[in-house]
Every structure is written in C-alpha cells, then in structure tokens.
Chain A
Amino acid sequence: MQKKAILLGSDAVAHGVKLSRPQVISAYPITPQTHIIETLSEMVDKGELKSQYIKVESEMSAIAAVLGSVSAGSRSFTASSSQGLAMMHELLHWFAGARLPLVLVNANRALGAPWNIWSDQSDSFSQRDTGWLQIYCETSQEALDTIIMAYKASEQLMLPIMVMIDGFILSHTMEQLLVPDQQEVDEYLPAYRPPYQLDPDNPLTFGGAAQPDLFYELKKTFSETMTEALTIIDNCQDEFANKFGRKYKPVMRCLEGDEKSDTALLCCGAMTGTARVAVENLRENGTSIDLYKLRLLRPFPNRELAEALKDKKRVIVLNRACSYGVGGTLSQEVRAALYNLPQRPLVNDVMISLGGKEVFPETIAEVVGNREQLSAIDCNWL
C-alpha cells in the first residue's frame, strides 16, 4: 500500500532516500538543498533511518567520505547544489572512473558570479562529461521515485547517478504525492551486494595507475556500459511501473492528442509543468503543438529522441543552462541526436530562463507564436 502524503520537495527526496536504506550519508549544507540533509539527519537522529551520518567541513569532503564508504561496500548518499557540486568536480570524475555506485541529488541552482541562489541547470549540465548518469525530475513524486530507481540502476551498472530537482521550484514547494511502502521498496531494491570492496582480509588496489593501452581499454568498456545503461535504466523504470504503477521513460511525450502536430516543445525538469499549461492553452486557441520532456541527459537517449521527433518539422528546445559561445546546452544535445535523421526537424534554441527567471505559460506561448521569427542557428534570448 502506498501512503498519500503532503510533503515539501526536499522532504520527498529525503523519504525516497530513507526508503532506499543508505548505510552512509555525508553532505554539506547549501541552499536550496539544505532541507534534504536536515530532514535526513533528523531521521537518523530519531532512529527512523539506520544510517551513519558523517558531518564534514566541505562538499569536497562529503564526496570524498562517500567515495570511501562506497569503496568499503556501503550503499551511500549525498546531496548538493551549485558551487557545492562544482567543488566536488574532481572527485565526480574519480567516482565514475572507479566504477562506484552512488545516488547524489542535486538541487539545481545558478553558479556565481554574480551571486544567485535560484533555479538554473548550469550546475549539473556542466558536470555532464564526468561519466555520471543524469536524470531530471518534473515533480516531487518523480524525484522520490527516481531516487529508488536510481539506486537499483546504479548498483547494476556500478556507476554513480545524479538526480536533479529544480532548486526552490521543487525543493521548497509542498504538494501531494504517494510514498511507497518500505516492504515493497525492499522487494524492488534488495540490499547492496558489492562485487568488490575494501577488505583487510582480501586486499585489492582501487583506482590504481593504468598505462595508456589499458586506460584506453577501460574507457572503451566504460563507454560501452554507458550505452547499455539506457536499457538497464529502462528496465528499472519498467519494473518500477509494474510494482508501483508510475511509468517513466528516458524521453516522455507529455500530453495526449495532437499526434499529427509538426511542431514540438522540448524541455527538462520542473519547467515541464508550466509548459504543459502553455501547451493546453495554445491548443485551445488553435495552435497544434506537442510537448516532450527529457528525463535522461546521460546517457543521452539519441535513438529514442530521434524516433520520437522524426516526423516533426520544428523542435523548440527550452533551456535553463547555457554553454556560452554556443547556446543552450540541451539544444546542442538535441541537435546532435537529430542530425542523422533523413529529414531532420529544424531545432530552435531558446534560452527561456537562467538564475531563477520566472517561466510563465505566456512566455512559452509567445515563443511558440513567434516561431517563424526564431533564429535557426543562433541561440534565441528573450
């Protein structure tokens, strides 16, 4: 039985983590993520969650602490945001390269300067080449569910997964959701059985040096695992849907109807909710338009995305992260995935928000209304 609950997004994340039974948690506070680890530390203090909570003096230490605990064979958790995630950068590469499973929740927030604490996906998008899987969530329910699925996939793949919620927009909003039953989660996600671990009785070398040819071979294997990861993630999502009734896919079509529409909007994260309102309004006013959300940024679902968008004439990508000098980071990924289609759609790159700039349904409708005037090459700023 799943229990109806009314929770802040950050508490929904904490519940997802608790249900996944991590043995070690280490994190350093940063707005807007702090509520997640505050709630978890309370859960540990009250004995509701049997986990070792390691207090640290920085995000670098937090990621280092869980690097150690996962190496020793413990399911672990950390969370961060913005500058905190940036500070972890060096060990993010190390974590993935060492093939260690972990779930990290990042509350998306802008990177300074100038100082800004609001929602912006540049922090996690700029970690996309670290070898971590990345999943973006539209709602708190999706975040809670994704954490549980992410642990399962991460331990099957022996790769770390970053789960994103938009800072404030999800983390600080209270809404209703269903919390799965612990016993059912335990059936879905059995205890972590590491294939190798730090053990004084069975000494192994972790992260040792690799000569050029071996390094190349290891990275080739890594890359192949990343490709297989799509199937494994999908299997974990399907198994979750069978057990808990909520279906998730790497790319999801958001609204029924208008199958024949030749124009699509694409975005990721909580903005999808507002885009749904915009698309419903546009359709009521006679504009035929489709909406897709991307959940999985790494591995990038190239084939799934190309299949979903192959009949479209135009795809408008709404970005909340910028690769300066090119444009919206998500747009570049979408363009690359669609390039080999025999008749590829035009991709309009739109920078809809950075640093918490409000995304109104009307703003999205206006972008769609002016689509003929949008640049097909340059990034379109509002």
Chain B
Amino acid sequence: MIEVRVHGRGGQGGVTSAEMLAIAAINEGKFAQAFPSFGPERRGAPVIAFARVSEQKIRNRTKVYTPDVVVVLDPSVLSIVNVEEGLKSDGILVINSAKSLSELRSEYGFKTSLARVDATHIAMEELGLPITNTTMLGAAIKARSLVPVEALIGPLEVRFGRIAAKNIKALQRAYKETEVDLI
C-alpha cells in the first residue's frame, strides 16, 4: 500500500489532486481511497488531503499518518507546517518551489528523498492561474510511479471538461521538468 498526503491551502484543489490520483489508480485495476482532512472548509488556511493506493481492498479508515509520498502544492506552507512529519524513511517529499534541491535542503533541513518543480511557474504559463493541484500530480508520479502519466488523462478530462487540455499539458510538463534527488 502506498499512502499519500497532499499539503496546500484551502481552495487550491488538494482534495482534487488526491481524488484524481485515486481514480487513475482504480482505473488501472488497483484499489484506492481519497479523502480530505475531515473538518470545516477553510479557504486559505493550510489544509491536507490523503490518498491510499493498494493492490488489495483497503479497509483501514484512519487518516494517513506515515505517508510514502508527501506533495506540497504551495511553498508558503513550508515555513508553517512540518511537511516531513511521519514521512517514511524511504518516502519522498515532492515540493512546488522555484528553489533548487540544494537550496531547499539547506533552508528546511530536509533529510529524506526530495523532488521539486516550479509548478507555480508552469501553472501560470499553461493555465494562467497559480493553481498547482494538477501540475503537482505530474511531479508526484515522477517522484513515485504510482500510476502512468496516461492514466491521469481520463480522470482529468472528466473532472475539468473544457479546461482539461490545459491541465493535462501542465501535468505533462511537470512530469518532464521535475528533478528528483533520492537518498
């Protein structure tokens, strides 16, 4: 079982990221769950969402406490939330940041495997908006091959309709541009 935690701010589409990943995994014949951190909706506040992907039926109903993959949609949460909390020793942190891998390591002291991409820059170019939830999906699956890139196209087309093409392009660009530093 692979467990994913997505950090973002309320309204940035973190739950949608988790859901797209779960749908893609299920379409690939796996089992999956996606859910928000249960509570009131809080636009702008740091929030988290979760996904589980497994070869077996998933019965556990707890939140994700020891993720294999942590995705950070918004670099501004890095200084206020411990995004590394509970991350498995062989897990990977996937961050949207304009900073380099070494800059991120020295600034935040990250010890685990790290991946980064400037998702805000890609989203601004491709979508015209600083909304990185679909872009960061490309980074996440580059960092850990949860599902093939193609598996996300269908779910995105269903969810985003006429703006799906732009989101798919942003996702594919992030998949190519993501840098991975495995420990």
Contacts and interface: CB of A to CB of B under 8 A. Distances in A.
B35 A172 contact: yes
B63 interface: yes
Nearest to B39: A117
A271 B32 CA distance: 18
Interface string B23-65: 1001000011111101110000000000000000011111100
A274 B63 CA distance: 11
Interface stretch (A189-197, A208-216, A336-344, A358-366): A358-366
A176 B62 contact: no
B38 A273 contact: no
B121 to A, nearest CB: 30
A169 interface: yes
Interface in A307-366: 356, 358-361
A168 B35 CA distance: 9
Given A31-B40, A168-B38, A174 B33 contact: yes
A228 interface: no
B22 interface: yes
Interface residue tally on B, bucketed by range = 10 to 19
B3 interface: no
A277 B54 CA distance: 14
A118 B38 contact: yes
A6 interface: yes
Contact of B60 (A168, A174, A273): A273
A118 B40 CA distance: 10
Contact of A273 (B19, B22, B40, B61): B61
B60 A361 contact: yes
A361 B60 CA distance: 8
A6 B63 CA distance: 19
Contacts of B33: 173-175
A360 B59 CA distance: 12
A274 B39 contact: no
B56 to A, nearest CB: 11
A232 B40 CA distance: 40
A277 B35 contact: no
B32 A176 contact: yes
A174 B61 contact: no
Contact of A169 (B23, B26, B39, B61): B61
Residue of A6, A271, A273 with most partner-chain B CB within 10 A = A6
Residue of A173, A277, A358 with most partner-chain B CB within 10 A = A173
A273 B59 contact: yes
A117 B40 contact: yes
B38 A174 contact: no
A89 interface: no
A274 B60 contact: yes
B60 A277 contact: yes
B3 to A, nearest CB: 13
A276 interface: yes
Contacts of A6: 22-23, 26
Residue of B19, B33, B39, B40 with most partner-chain A CB within 10 A = B39
B60 A175 contact: no
A270 interface: yes
Contacts of A119: 38
A174 B19 contact: yes
12 contacts: A168-B35, A168-B39, A175-B32, A176-B26, A270-B61, A274-B59, A274-B60, A274-B61, A277-B60, A356-B38, A358-B63, A359-B61
A-B pairs, top 9 by smallest CB distance, nearest first, are A168-B38, A173-B35, A273-B59, A174-B34, A276-B59, A274-B61, A176-B26, A273-B61, A277-B60
Interface of B: 19, 22-23, 26, 31-36, 38-40, 58-63
